[in-house]
Amino acid sequence: MASLSGLTQQISNRNSVVELPMTHRPRLHNSIKKSCRVGFRVMASENNASTSELDLSVTVNGLKMPNPFVIGSGPPGTNLAVMRKAFDEGWGAVIAKTVSLDAAKVINVTPRYAKLRAGANGSTRGEIIGWENIELISDRPLEIMLSEFKQLKKEYPDRILIASIMEEYDKAAWHELIDRVEQTGVDAIEINFSCPHGMPERKMGAAVGQDCALLEEVCGWINEKATVSVWAKMTPNITDITQPARVALRTGCEGVSAINTIMSVMGINLDTLRPEPCVEGYSTPGGYSSKAVHPIALAKVMSIAQMMRSEFGDKDCSLSGIGGVEAGGDAAEFILLGADTVQVCTGVMMHGYGIVKKLCSELKDFMKKHNFSSIDDFKGLSLEYFTTHTDLVKRQQEAIRQRKAIRKGLASDKDWTGDGFVQETESMVSN
């Protein structure tokens, strides 16, 4: 692919085309930025280190974290007390619940959650595999949230606090919000371009993330004002997630987070015939999370990582993976697909803040098994194994040709014995 320098990228958006010049402004921490390494393989150490010697620390856009596990924006970052708890338990960073200038416009309802359980008809005893929420952004006054950000940074000066912000389609409002948030000493800002429900009529959340032209304009406002790193949180409720991700990076954002929740209707109560969660007999589509979204999140992150490696490989870009993380292996998958950090929100709501210890331990077990000594050793390692279906056909045909050459397996179905049809079929060499 040609160099990005001096070029523009055309991205289709409905019936228009957006011309995107590459723009990156200097940040306060530019002197310590590193080259973006999304998707590049670093060979593991030859030494078989003990689990205690493995290094989980990551440096993302100049921000040093003790591990890649980040509290995702939502209820687990709703106030000072819970954010303290997150740092005390050992989370690598905390992204606070999304704030806006006027919290009076935000009115939440209850119940606001619905759960999908494994088992027949969503048995109440089954394991939770899906979680829907119709919760809006923070309804606490901005002044209170800002004072808590400031207090948290005072108490934990060496820990990473990231503010999540969302505002209406108003340049002055975005600039005011960024200025006030940065004055608290937060280390970075995540922009909520992805909330799938609530206030789309004000061009907030996913209403921006789904419209590349609008996204480019708003990112421009944000990045001309912000002095700390900016991450753009992507919505999965779009055909090609690489398009808005590319827009965000080209207009100055240092990082991308993916994915936010998936638009969903959890289900209908077959006794009352009312949708869930049910508020005074009614409901509204909400955001779907938990284990069931993990494969979808992996696919979206893989697509973004491939795009970043191809088009932004020489930039200090970062990628934060989100979706259904409840075990160290879930996190390892995101990192293998190019993520620098892994966010957890619903998992904390279900299992508590202490889950980070389990996540770190299991991730170290994975690293020890494969003789990796650091996160960089395996970041993006699995990206090279994705290809096109056409290429898969060619690869399999070649593999069949080679197997024929050494006469492995049964020659044809005339050789079936009747003992183990599946195994015998899989062992056959196609003509």
Q: Please write down the HEC assignment for all residues of the chain.
A: CCCCCCCEEEEEECCEEEEEECCCCCCCCHHHCCCCCCCCCCCCCCCCCCHHHCECCEEECCEEECCCEEECCCHHHCCHHHHHHHHHHCCCEEECCCECCCHHHCCCCCCCEEEEECCHHHCCCCCEEEEEECCCCCCCCHHHHHHHHHHHHHHCCCCEEEEEECCCCCHHHHHHHHHHHHCCCCCEEEEECCCCCCCHHHCCCHHHHCCHHHHHHHHHHHHHHCCCEEEEECCCCCCCCHHHHHHHHHCCCCEEEECCCEEECCEECCCCCCEECCECCECCCEEEECHHHHHHHHHHHHHHHHHHHHHCCCCCCEEEEECCCCCHHHHHHHHHCCCCEEEECHHHHHHCCCHHHHHHHHHHHHHHHCCCCEHHHCCCCCHHHCCCHHHHHHHHHHHHHHHHHHCCCCCCHHHCCCCCHHHHHHCCCCC
- Catalytic, out of 36, 195, 212, 219: 195
Active-site residue flag, 195: yes
Annotated catalytic residues are 195
